[in-house]
């Protein structure tokens, strides 16, 4: 075997992993050696005969695990974005082992004793605010990981964590297979009536790439309400597409959902919490289950009232029955009638390259003074991946941004940001971040035309990328999006504001053939129509958030029973039982919470949106230029990552605590 490229720091710019050299067989030796090296580093810390200091204990722990971090970040990236069967098998094998490795560190009594001794004297150590926060964070992390448990309890915790890792990996891989298998295969172009010519061509190309030559394939996106439902004219095709979407995981993940929920309830009880929701929220900015439930209680009634009013209008347009697969179709008709906007007809104005360069990148330059240069000489983990170098206004380097836009059979659904290298002054590393989307790839030589929703997703995910790219912290544990889960969506949601800003929209919203700008009257109607459908979108989101919350509010020992019955009861109890609006994610394909780290935290999107809506209002009313406001937002919030209390940082930048009123106004929930 060739020399393992993980064994030395990459010599590529910004330590981009040398994917052209990395082979599947390199991961396992690197992960094995990485875990062994980190345990040896921990043993050196605990074996130090001198009294514990911040540098020989906390900073030493922060420096540890360099090789493991390199290999794990790379494997995590490809397991989500290019999951071949070999990669899937590796991921399934190593997730439980990596979970056990973390337990070995957090349950090391000698290591915790040193951290605990430093914590007791933390205010006498003369630490600067970031290092003091890291010491406090480490102490809390160890306690939450079970450092205070008896040896017998710790062994039980290790067992639970291993089982959770196995079950979560199985859930993700089952969902990957079910989503791929659930793609809707159609025989005739007529079945796709209502879709644009380029969308039909893309479906044909998708079919060809999946081995269905001469047919048409609509691959499923991760969420429930597939985007094609807005335009497909054949009601039976719409029903088949919605059924395929809703059915994912019902066979393969049904038992895993209940198992994951009961395992988490058992873990929370072992750590002294009445539920996993209570355990999760104790470490987040919400602070208590009551705070989350109060937010739900305030939002659900007006959201449902709005959605019911929307449903009445759609039934009138449909001439009677309105099913879940009809909602988007008739919503599009009503939107067109009320606001004279045909969303499908807007796609020629949103060509990917123009949206990226003259929209997303241009806005980042206007707000934060940064620039982007594509680096075709640098190779990503898949041929579709593009690499951009990011610079400050004065030309000094920031890091790398990798863009992976297109759907493929080896990529999970949805859109997300991922780090390959975290920024850290302690480690001497600059950020390398990835944005993933699942845009249908057009035939060769054809432009990639986006829906309005896909444009919004690009701006949203790039907000996460900015959080990583603009990080400026000493400690890697605080880098970029390493913030409490319920505020991690805040910067990404703020970045959506630039999508419809006139000075940004005018640059990128141009017809891909004629170059003509999106007509001003259409822009005005688009802005006016933004609130149309907020009842649907809010109920769809809240239903998913409530399902997450219900599963993770189970007490230890309570068996949830059948998944579908549990879902129905949870939605009925919350006042969100609307058959026409299924949750954005049903439990069996709710990857965020059953295979990701949003467990008992999906509420964070709306929690973060409180901060987001208030920040947008601040940008628009504070009397400063966009560039001045952007610099203040960057220096006070984006660059600080988890090194500060984000709520305190918000107040320092905006000048007051956050208010919910801008969110209520945005979503039409003030009545």
Report whether pLDDT(474) > 90.
yes
Mean pLDDT of all residues in 650-661? 94
Round the average pLDDT of the chain to a whole number and report it: 95
- What Å distances lie between residue 317 and 175, 326, 338, CA to CA? 35, 11, 12
- pTM greater than 0.95 (yes/no): no
User: Which of 465, 491, 506 is at the close of a domain?
Assistant: 506
Closest-CA residue to 498 (of 360, 353, 615): 360
Please report whether residue 379 resides in a domain. Answer: yes
Residues 610 and 426: their CA atoms lie apart, in Å, by: 33
> Which pLDDT score is estimated for 511?
97
Instruction: Find tokens 């691959």 and name the residue.
Output: 219
Please report whether residue 421 resides in a domain. Answer: yes
In this predicted model, what pLDDT tens digit does every residue of 604-645 receive, in sequence order?
A: 999 999 999 999 999 999 999 999 999 999 999 999 999 999
Whether residues 17 and 50 fall in one domain? yes
Q: Yes or no: say if 249 and 198 are a contact pair by the CB < 8 Å rule.
A: no
Whether residues 228 and 278 fall in one domain? no
Residues 368 and 635: their CA atoms lie apart, in Å, by: 10
Q: Judge residue 637's burial from the number of C-beta atoms within 10 Å of its C-beta, 0-12 exposed, 13-18 middle, 19 or more buried.
A: buried
Q: Judge residue 20's burial from the number of C-beta atoms within 10 Å of its C-beta, 0-12 exposed, 13-18 middle, 19 or more buried.
A: exposed
- Known catalytic residues are 461
Whether residues 222 and 256 fall in one domain? no
The string of DSSP codes covering 211-260 is T-TTSEEEPPPSSSS-GGGGT---HHHHHHHHHHHHHTTTTTTHHHHHHH
Closest-CA residue to 165 (of 483, 599, 605): 599
DSSP structure class, residue 667: T
User: Could you tell me the pLDDT band of residue 671, with boundaries at 50, 70 and 90?
Assistant: low
Domain total in the chain: 4
Q: Which residues of 482-509 are buried (b: 16+ CB within 10 A; e: fewer)?
A: bbbbbbbbbbbbbbbbbbbbeebbebbb
Q: Yes or no: say if 532 and 338 are a contact pair by the CB < 8 Å rule.
A: yes
> Which pLDDT score is estimated for 1?
52
> Which pLDDT score is estimated for 529?
82
Residues 336 and 317: their CA atoms lie apart, in Å, by: 12
Other beta carbons less than 10 A from residue 317's beta carbon? 16
Compute the half-sphere exposure of residue 297: CA atoms within 13 Å on the CB side of its CA. 6
User: Could you tell me the pLDDT band of residue 449, with boundaries at 50, 70 and 90?
Assistant: very high
Whether residues 328 and 361 fall in one domain? no
Strand order across the beta sheet in which 397-406 lies: 371-374, 386-391, 397-406, 432-439, 416-421
Compute the half-sphere exposure of residue 63: CA atoms within 13 Å on the CB side of its CA. 15
In this predicted model, what pLDDT tens digit does every residue of 361-391 receive, in sequence order?
A: 999 999 999 999 999 999 999 999 999 999 9
Whether residues 320 and 236 fall in one domain? no
List the beta bridge partners of residue 406: 439
> Which pLDDT score is estimated for 669?
87
> Which pLDDT score is estimated for 597?
85
**For the chain, what is the radius of gyration of the CA atoms?**
25
Mean pLDDT of all residues in 535-552? 97
Whether residues 137 and 13 fall in one domain? yes
Please report whether residue 571 resides in a domain. Answer: yes
Whether residues 237 and 301 fall in one domain? no
* Percent above pLDDT 70 for the chain: 100
Within its chain, how far is the Cα of 470 from the centroid? 18
User: Which of 94, 125, 148 is at the close of a domain?
Assistant: 148
In three-state form (DSSP H/G/I as H, E/B as E, the rest C), the secondary structure along 352-407 is HHHHHHHHHHHHHHHHHCCEEEECCCCCCCCCCCEEEEEECCCCCEEEEEEEEEEC
Residues 564 and 515: their CA atoms lie apart, in Å, by: 50
Please report whether residue 569 resides in a domain. Answer: yes
User: Which of 192, 211, 243 is at the close of a domain?
Assistant: 243
Closest-CA residue to 390 (of 399, 403, 378): 399
List the beta bridge partners of residue 186: 216
What is the CA angle 607-611-615, rounded to 5? 160
In this predicted model, what pLDDT tens digit does every residue of 196-205 receive, in sequence order?
A: 998 999 999 9
Closest-CA residue to 372 (of 383, 382, 385, 362): 362
Domain containing residue 362: 347-506
Q: Yes or no: say if 242 and 209 are a contact pair by the CB < 8 Å rule.
A: no
Q: The CATH number of the domain where 103 resides is what?
A: 1.20.1050.40
Instruction: Find tokens 């043993």 and name the residue.
Output: 43
Q: Which two tokens stand for residue 98?
A: 């990596």
Please report whether residue 264 resides in a domain. Answer: yes
User: Could you tell me the pLDDT band of residue 246, with boundaries at 50, 70 and 90?
Assistant: very high
Whether residues 14 and 139 fall in one domain? yes
Q: Which two tokens stand for residue 300?
A: 């659900």
Mean pLDDT of all residues in 20-44? 98
Q: The CATH number of the domain where 452 resides is what?
A: 1.10.1370.40
> Which pLDDT score is estimated for 407?
92
Whether residues 335 and 293 fall in one domain? yes
> Which pLDDT score is estimated for 138?
97
In this predicted model, what pLDDT tens digit does every residue of 262-312 receive, in sequence order?
A: 999 999 999 999 999 999 999 999 999 999 999 999 999 999 999 999 999
Please report whether residue 162 resides in a domain. Answer: no
Mean pLDDT of all residues in 59-68? 98
> Which pLDDT score is estimated for 497?
96
Whether residues 472 and 582 fall in one domain? no
In this predicted model, what pLDDT tens digit does every residue of 410-434 receive, in sequence order?
A: 998 889 999 999 999 999 999 999 9
DSSP 3-state of 286: coil
Closest-CA residue to 638 (of 505, 462, 503): 462
DSSP 3-state of 321: coil
Query: Which residue pairs, CB below 8 angstroms and at least 24 apart, start in 287-292?
Result: 289/553, 292/549, 292/603, 292/607
Whether residues 664 and 537 fall in one domain? yes
Closest-CA residue to 284 (of 607, 527, 568, 548): 607
- What Å distances lie between residue 626 and 367, 372, 502, 518, 622, CA to CA? 6, 19, 13, 23, 10
Closest-CA residue to 241 (of 145, 325, 354): 325
What is the CA angle 111-117-121, rounded to 5? 145
Whether residues 327 and 413 fall in one domain? no
Please report whether residue 160 resides in a domain. Answer: no
User: Could you tell me the pLDDT band of residue 588, with boundaries at 50, 70 and 90?
Assistant: very high
Q: The CATH number of the domain where 605 resides is what?
A: 1.10.1370.10
Please report whether residue 37 resides in a domain. Answer: yes
Residues 176 and 227: their CA atoms lie apart, in Å, by: 19
Residues 590 and 261: their CA atoms lie apart, in Å, by: 13
Q: Yes or no: say if 330 and 233 are a contact pair by the CB < 8 Å rule.
A: no
DSSP structure class, residue 591: H
């Amino acid at each position: 075997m060739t020399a393992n490229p993980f064994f030395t720091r990459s010599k590529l710019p910004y330590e981009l992993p040398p994917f052209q050299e990395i082979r599947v067989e390199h991961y396992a030796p690197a992960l094995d050696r990485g875990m062994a090296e980190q345990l040896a580093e921990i043993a050196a810390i605990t074996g130090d005969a001198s009294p514990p200091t911040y540098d020989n204990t906390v900073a030493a722990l922060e420096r540890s695990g360099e090789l493991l971090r390199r290999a794990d970040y790379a494997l995590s990236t490809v397991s989500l974005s290019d999951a071949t069967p070999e990669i899937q098998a590796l991921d399934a094998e190593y997730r439980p082992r990596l979970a056990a490795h973390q337990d070995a560190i957090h349950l090391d009594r000698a290591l915790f004793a040193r951290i605990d001794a430093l914590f007791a004297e933390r205010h006498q150590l003369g630490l600067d605010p970031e290092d003091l926060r890291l010491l406090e964070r480490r102490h809390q992390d160890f306690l939450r990981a079970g450092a205070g448990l008896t040896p017998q309890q710790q062994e039980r915790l290790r067992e639970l964590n291993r089982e959770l890792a196995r079950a979560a990996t199985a859930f993700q891989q089952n969902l990957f297979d079910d989503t791929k298998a659930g793609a809707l295969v159609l025989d005739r172009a007529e079945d796709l009536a209502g879709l644009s010519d380029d969308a039909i061509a893309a479906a044909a190309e998708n079919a060809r790439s999946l081995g269905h030559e001469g047919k048409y394939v609509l691959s499923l996106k991760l969420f429930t309400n597939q985007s094609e439902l807005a335009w497909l004219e054949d009601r039976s095709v719409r029903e088949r597409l919605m059924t395929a979407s809703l059915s994912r995981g019902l066979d393969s993940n049904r038992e895993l959902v209940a198992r994951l929920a009961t395992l988490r309830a058992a873990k929370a009880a072992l750590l002294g919490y009445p539920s996993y929701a209570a355990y999760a929220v104790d470490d987040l900015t919400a602070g208590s289950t009551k705070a989350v439930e109060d937010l739900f209680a305030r939002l659900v009634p007006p959201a449902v009232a709005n959605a019911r009013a929307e449903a009445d209008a759609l039934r009138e347009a449909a001439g009677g029955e309105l099913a879940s697969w009809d909602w988007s179709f008739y919503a599009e008709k009503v939107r067109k009638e009320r606001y004279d906007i045909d969303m499908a007809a807007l796609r020629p104005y949103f060509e990917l390259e123009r949206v990226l360069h003259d929209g997303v990148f241009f806005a980042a330059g206007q707000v934060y003074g940064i620039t982007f240069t594509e680096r075709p000489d640098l190779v990503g983990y898949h041929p579709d991946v593009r690499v951009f170098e990011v610079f400050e206004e004065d030309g000094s380097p920031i890091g790398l941004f990798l863009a992976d836009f297109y759907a493929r059979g080896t990529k999970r659904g949805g859109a997300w940001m991922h780090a390959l290298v975290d920024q850290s002054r302690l480690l001497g590393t600059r950020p390398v971040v990835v944005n993933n989307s699942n845009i249908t790839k057009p035939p060769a030589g054809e432009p990639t035309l986006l829906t309005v929703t896909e444009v919004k997703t690009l701006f949203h995910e790039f907000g996460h990328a900015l959080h990583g790219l603009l990080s400026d912290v000493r400690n890697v544990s605080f880098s970029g999006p390493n913030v409490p889960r319920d505020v991690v969506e805040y910067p990404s949601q703020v970045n959506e504001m630039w999508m419809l800003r006139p000075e940004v929209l005018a640059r990128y919203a141009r017809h891909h053939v004629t170059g003509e700008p999106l007509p001003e009257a259409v822009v005005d109607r688009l802005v006016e129509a933004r609130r149309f459908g907020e009842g649907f979108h809010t109920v769809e989101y809240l239903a998913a958030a409530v399902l997450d919350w219900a599963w993770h509010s189970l007490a230890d020992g309570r068996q949830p029973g059948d998944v579908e019955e549990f879902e129905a009861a949870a939605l009925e109890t919350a006042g969100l039982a609307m058959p026409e609006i299924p949750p954005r994610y049903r439990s069996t394909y709710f990857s965020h919470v059953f295979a990701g780290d949003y467990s008992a935290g999906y509420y964070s999107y709306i929690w973060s949106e409180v901060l987001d809506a208030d920040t947008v209002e601040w940008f628009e009313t504070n009397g400063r230029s966009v560039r001045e406001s952007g610099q203040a937002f960057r220096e006070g919030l984006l660059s600080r990552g988890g090194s500060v209390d984000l709520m305190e940082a918000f107040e320092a930048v905006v000048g007051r605590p956050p208010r919910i009123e801008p969110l209520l106004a945005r979503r039409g929930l003030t009545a």
